[in-house]
Structure 1
């Protein structure tokens, strides 16, 4: 019966009946006769299908005046409702569109507050009112109807069941019924709602539950945790701030990042956030952050009307108590997973008596229905996940049940098997599969490493994780895990192997101090294992590192200490081929570093330096050690650099890439490969092979080891593109270079200085002196020695000066004789330097111009770019237009469009327009002809 059938006067009478007034008192209050009141009472009994005045009064008491006029009579919240704008709108739409909606979610997510807020929002769409019934006090599922009857004021009638009374009272009403906390009486709520919704076609029901009710009309609305998107402007943070302010100590801006982190750790769970905020005034940011390692202990509140929400533990106790024994066992066992897991993984870990694999899989579904697990589809299969608080709760239950050791041991075995499979399988979805299990492997390792009886499992797991982390390009963790494996190893030989791998990863990280330390530690472990030969190799490797990668050290080891290491390495190594190769490499490294900068006294003959390196290459090749051969070739390329034979240097560097290319990407190989690519690119630049330099540089830029080190990755590609004149590419890549260099702590090396100077050159060619000056400042800060600017600095500066027609200044910039410069700065720039000296002499009218041209030819023959530049200089000197045009074609063939375009400008006349157009296409201004 709709309240629309009740007249205004009858509504007034009904309201006063709710106040338990007599007919005479009602008549006096409304200024009508007692007989009229009696008539209205009779009419109300008939319309509302109630047996007597007592039932009518009870009905009236259950319906406030606001309800009868269409407003909502709902519990009044004691705090403000914060956030959830999207969920609020979506649930409101669902409630008004569908007959029965279940707001489902885990305990403490905020289902009740959202339901009450939405009920108030939509109250005006239900003219017959909104009722609210909390089912928490109901312990017998058969009494759900009685709880609803009390809420709506439907009383007992002789010969009529209480459920029938509710159905009769609501039969024709367009109303909304809110049933809160249905999860523990689902067996009673489901059939009652099915009867209710069938008998009351205009009634809508909004229920809250930790599990769906499984009734025909049901529409499930999953209540998510509070949004954490937007950082300090998220719903989760807004709730924390509001509740913390309510206890008298609102967090200020200085701690906003800490509050964001707290809300992240609490998974956006509304109750947990409220309880944490309530303790803000007594614990502060530091105390609260530390306390969240045990959320069950920290997240407690004072006395509440609802004891279930007095603490996070109480919420979980309520949910746990509703579970069947098998599901309780499953919940505590899957708590060992720290990341979303598959049903198969759960079966391997949790399937021990009383559970088997099938009951585990079935149980996961039931736990998900109870909102104790979240279900997430992914590319690697359906996964189940539990919030941190549930995992902590489950872990405590696991300990209480005496199952911790056996279940965690099974988890360790699962992690070992999964890691082994990942090590062997590098399929296209490898990265996703590793990311899905990495946190579990870390957790299993932490547990096993802390157990005296499990060092072997822990060591194996640490080595697996190190290899996987390295493949995933987590270099810092890879080194850490290898060192951890060494500490856990039961045998010294195993520890030594792990330390060598750690040293290789440290090399990939350009951490010279760690490389040196770890090679020495590996030698000590090898000695403990009785392997003197390997110990000698390790000491030789430490000595090699000290010189070969000296730029990667924060503090270079004293030369005397390194010599002692080398002497000891010779003593221990003996005549084993691999050991002899390692010692020979160390001896070669002592007299030359990777760029050919002599490290011993100046009177050490260049021939001896080359012989040391050649011997190291030969021994490494005989030993079949490709990594050692590459390292020895590196020493050889540096030694040959001192002979001035740029082509021999480039050939040795190129040979390194051929030796390493077939090898699997172990840490040692990857470290050597990155270095080989850098040297191949640099040496290709030195002989004017710009296309090859760009290819090697491109491979270096795409190397996964350098993903976080864009400055090292892109350095030689920047130089190659700058020489070619690809201005747009250089400027775009230069931004990444600068940002990465600054983020990386502004390291210093020759290649970094040259790269920055090349960007400065491009800005200079474009006529942007301010940007050029800024990049020259970066070049000075990024290089190790100021004299390097005499090499690449002279080349880049002279190029800019010639581009803008200042031949006299360019001539002055390359005034020093080549032999006075190149040996002390880097031979890579030698060909570029002598070719520029010849051209500047011609354009400036220097009397020795032809002499310089002839001298340059003896050096640059075989270098296509430098040869074309010398040919152009001679053609300009002789006024040979055809010779100039031939040089332009040679530049094009050599992959140097900038110099080709500039040649057309120098040719002048009808060729000027073509040269101007070509420079514009490269993103460069034309500049004066020269």
Structure 2
């Protein structure tokens, strides 16, 4: 239960009702939740409107949401392991900058203390951002295109079918007053800048605080240069040194204060350099620190290493490096190839080559951690080591000096490829955790290899593996891009086909069509190209609703012409062409809708099935069965269509879930659920719907499966289940950005009917308004709307209105509820005393053969017409057996019960 608002004059019961209004519950839902009548709820809502001065229910819901919102969302920030020292002036100045500007970049050299300052300021400002302060570490990200994925991971936002992360992240923050902290942006400016611009344009109450070594160069950016720690008097730099020295058990005496101040000046006030210097006190003492640092600074004057970006930190790191053994130096630079936390075995595989002594890696990692050059983290997968980014970049540069700039990254690439191979072959428990632990290294290794012609084959293999792993991890946007990257590396048409299938799973018709055509081009003048061209044409027809900009109508015909030229004697090519012909025929049927056209379509589809079955390819046969299902439905044979749809699911079910199979299986389950509803097999419909709901690929788009289950439950009479699931469905559709979704029209109409049956006309009208927001036209509603409306009209004792509503011609003749429609029309005619009811009953029976619920409706209508109460009661058992308790109860009522 939501937090109860403490509002003067509002009773405890009214507080409960107000909280549920804030959750957008209907009066019926509130009554059911609180075990009170709908009329009592209406009375309390009227009282709340008066007491709280709200204009209407929407205003009351907004007020409830504000009252129930916690005073402050928690700040999702890393917890520093050491205290923040000094910088009072900088802290106040940066705080004021963030308060006055929506995008602030804290700029300064590596190690100057940007991250610690920003974390302190973000914590200070947490109260000003009631919807949260979110921290995103961009260090592990090597690809600018993955910035949005890193932000999404920090926010807990996932990709949804038909909607990528570029839209999901702004949608999640659209109405939030939140602060997003982006740390270490310098290597990703090409990705961060456009992301921030899109985010701020779409989220007017969001602010961004970034750290970078250089400006992001966007027009709305407010730059705050982070200076070194103050060096005058008892400065911030000296205070930091004292604090960190105390942490390692060393007390700086007052007599040493000037010497410490001198050391801090030589370190240019760079916080990281000061901290690492203080950590060496137990080993070297203050005199040793000063002497060693002086020597190294002199070596760096005027050379390549005296660049503005790294001068102070490089001096400190050169000095720190001089204190390491030769083996530790080699280990430090070699493990710098890891961009994410790594294990000791991983380090041994990458860094364990000569002249590093065997067995040195584990001990060496411990020594590097003791000297603050590595961080240590305990995790479920064992101890992991992480190198701070500044040190990692320094170490990576040292590979060149040691002439290992190809060897170490090459071994890292080999390790990443082996790790990816292992992940691809072992999808058991903990797989996702293992993938997440190495994903950033896989991406970094791929980026390195892709730029080297001699490693292009390795890059191609790793891109393919990462495409598959990302798909299995439900990162389907990245999966598509990795397959496309693999294709770009070698011109591999197979990679383009995989990318096209992933695009289809994402409901990206434009991309799927483009990629199938690109695969054909890459395949050359071959039968394989014929298959690709035919599949592109099929995509044009089958994925019509998934195109943002559909190509011209004449393009598929041209593709099929060229496919026939290239097919030769290849059976797979001819099967693909036959499938495309079926898709084109189905598209043309809507213009003709004749019995001859339906028969011709069925013949085409049968031939497509025969050709696909001869290939022994379940995927091809499944696609052909889709065509046959459609042809059977257009011919009016709903029972055969349902059987074919079920056979298609059973065929695909045991096949490994590749992108192509996943696309086909999702479609198969959707159609199997729909055809089962149409033929009155509600038990099967619920079974298929649950299977669809449980597919991992739809984890972020559960409303797709819920839409079918809603229909089945509404027709069965499970009204409580419908009310509960309708909220989840609406939340999922809203989270997806409320896209135009005509396929969801039957679900919304079903929920509206349930509210109508429960007597809640206001809720019914709200759900009919949802149909409008989904972009469902009046003509499209005619396929199912009359049947839902008639059930409610009959329930309320208005058979004449139900008969008139069902008598109108329209799309219901080929709609999903055609059997239900004609059977309900007979019942309405009987109850309305229509003199033609008997004739209508006789002519309807053949049309619904094989549908147990429609058949029982006709049996009940016949008994009603004959005045046979025993006959009426006898049909109750048929409804019970068919899983339709609503019609079972209605039967008893029509037989004279209460």
Shift of 1:523: 0.3
- Structure 2 equivalent of residue 270 of structure 1: 116
Q: Distance in 2 between matches of 1:897 and 1:555?
A: 45
Q: Distance in 1 between matches of 2:646 and 2:113?
A: 53
- Give the aligned length: 663
Alignment of 1:278-357 (within 5 A): 290-291=185-186, 301=228, 303-304=230-231, 305=235, 306=237, 307=264, 308=267, 310-312=269-271, 314-315=273-274, 318=277, 321=320, 323-357=324-358
Q: Distance in 2 between matches of 1:539 and 1:241?
A: 64
Shift of 1:480: 0.6
Q: Choose from 500, 508, 513 the match for 1:511.
A: 508
Q: Are 1:526 and 2:514 an aligned pair?
A: no
Bigger RCO of structures 1 and 2 (CA < 8 A, at least 6 apart): 2
Q: Distance in 2 between matches of 1:378 and 1:437?
A: 13
Shift of 1:584: 0.7
- Structure 1 equivalent of residue 26 of structure 2: none
Shift of 1:251: 3.0
Q: Secondary structure at the match of 2:376?
A: strand
On the 8 A contact 1:677/1:700 being kept in 2, the answer is: yes
Shift of 1:556: 2.4
Q: Are 1:498 and 2:425 an aligned pair?
A: no
Shift of 1:713: 2.5
Q: Distance in 1 between matches of 2:86 and 2:600?
A: 72
Q: Distance in 2 between matches of 1:618 and 1:842?
A: 46
- Structure 2 equivalent of residue 46 of structure 1: none
- Structure 1 equivalent of residue 722 of structure 2: 730
Q: Distance in 1 between matches of 2:347 and 2:755?
A: 60
The CA deviation string for residues 73-105 of structure 1, in whole angstroms up to 9 with x for no partner, is xxxxxxxxxxxxxxxxxxxxxxxxxxxxxxxxx
- Structure 2 equivalent of residue 446 of structure 1: 447
- Structure 2, unaligned stretches of length 5 or more? 1-71, 125-178, 189-210, 215-224, 238-263, 280-316
Q: Distance in 2 between matches of 1:275 and 1:778?
A: 43
When normalised by structure 1's length, the TM-score is 0.66
Q: Distance in 1 between matches of 2:328 and 2:770?
A: 63
- Structure 2 equivalent of residue 612 of structure 1: 604
- Structure 1 equivalent of residue 833 of structure 2: 845
Alignment of 1:453-492 (within 5 A): 453-489=454-490, 492=491
When normalised by structure 2's length, the TM-score is 0.69
On the 8 A contact 2:112/2:270 being kept in 1, the answer is: no
Q: Choose from 552, 557, 572 the match for 1:558.
A: 552
The CA deviation string for residues 637-662 of structure 1, in whole angstroms up to 9 with x for no partner, is 11111211111111221121122122
On the 8 A contact 1:589/1:635 being kept in 2, the answer is: yes
Shift of 1:427: 1.8
Alignment of 1:372-411 (within 5 A): 372-411=373-412
- Structure 2 equivalent of residue 742 of structure 1: 734
On the 8 A contact 1:630/1:672 being kept in 2, the answer is: yes
Q: Secondary structure at the match of 1:250?
A: helix
On the 8 A contact 2:113/2:271 being kept in 1, the answer is: no
Alignment of 1:587-602 (within 5 A): 587-592=581-586, 598=590
Q: Choose from 227, 230, 233 the match for 2:74.
A: 230
Q: Are 1:781 and 2:780 an aligned pair?
A: no
Q: Secondary structure at the match of 1:605?
A: helix
Alignment of 1:893-904 (within 5 A): 893-904=881-892
Q: Distance in 1 between matches of 2:509 and 2:636?
A: 29
- Structure 1 equivalent of residue 865 of structure 2: 877
Q: In terms of mean alpha carbon deviation, does 306-315 or 769-778 score higher?
A: 306-315
On the 8 A contact 1:412/1:448 being kept in 2, the answer is: yes
- Structure 1, unaligned stretches of length 5 or more? 1-227, 279-283, 913-930
Q: Secondary structure at the match of 1:664?
A: coil
On the 8 A contact 1:748/1:783 being kept in 2, the answer is: yes
On the 8 A contact 1:760/1:772 being kept in 2, the answer is: yes
Residues 1:353 and 1:315: Cα distance change in structure 2 (over 3 Å): farther
Shift of 1:258: 6.7
Alignment of 1:418-433 (within 5 A): 418-433=419-434
Residues 1:383 and 1:597: Cα distance change in structure 2 (over 3 Å): farther
Q: In terms of mean alpha carbon deviation, does 844-853 or 828-837 score higher?
A: 844-853
Q: Distance in 2 between matches of 1:734 and 1:520?
A: 40
Shift of 1:881: 2.0
Shift of 1:499: 0.3
Shift of 1:296: 7.0
Residues 1:780 and 1:331: Cα distance change in structure 2 (over 3 Å): same
The CA deviation string for residues 351-371 of structure 1, in whole angstroms up to 9 with x for no partner, is 123324521111122223334
Q: Distance in 1 between matches of 2:187 and 2:572?
A: 54
Q: In terms of mean alpha carbon deviation, does 375-384 or 895-904 score higher?
A: 375-384
- Structure 1 equivalent of residue 561 of structure 2: 567
Q: Secondary structure at the match of 2:656?
A: coil
Shift of 1:288: 8.9
On the 8 A contact 1:469/1:478 being kept in 2, the answer is: yes
Shift of 1:434: 1.0
Measured on the aligned residues, the alpha-carbon RMSD in Å equals 3.4
- Structure 2 equivalent of residue 751 of structure 1: 743
- Structure 2 equivalent of residue 17 of structure 1: none
The CA deviation string for residues 95-154 of structure 1, in whole angstroms up to 9 with x for no partner, is xxxxxxxxxxxxxxxxxxxxxxxxxxxxxxxxxxxxxxxxxxxxxxxxxxxxxxxxxxxx
On the 8 A contact 1:296/1:313 being kept in 2, the answer is: no
Shift of 1:895: 0.6
Residues 1:612 and 1:757: Cα distance change in structure 2 (over 3 Å): same
Q: Choose from 836, 848, 851 the match for 1:863.
A: 851
Shift of 1:287: 12
Q: Secondary structure at the match of 1:251?
A: helix
Q: Are 1:815 and 2:807 an aligned pair?
A: yes
- Structure 2 equivalent of residue 434 of structure 1: 435
Residues 1:244 and 1:721: Cα distance change in structure 2 (over 3 Å): farther
Residues 1:394 and 1:894: Cα distance change in structure 2 (over 3 Å): same
Shift of 1:619: 0.5
Q: Are 1:676 and 2:522 an aligned pair?
A: no
On the 8 A contact 1:480/1:502 being kept in 2, the answer is: yes
Shift of 1:312: 4.7
Alignment of 1:167-316 (within 5 A): 230-231=74-75, 244-247=90-93, 250-253=96-99, 270=116, 290-291=185-186, 301=228, 303-304=230-231, 305=235, 306=237, 307=264, 308=267, 310-312=269-271, 314-315=273-274
Structure index of larger Rg:
1
Q: Are 1:540 and 2:534 an aligned pair?
A: yes
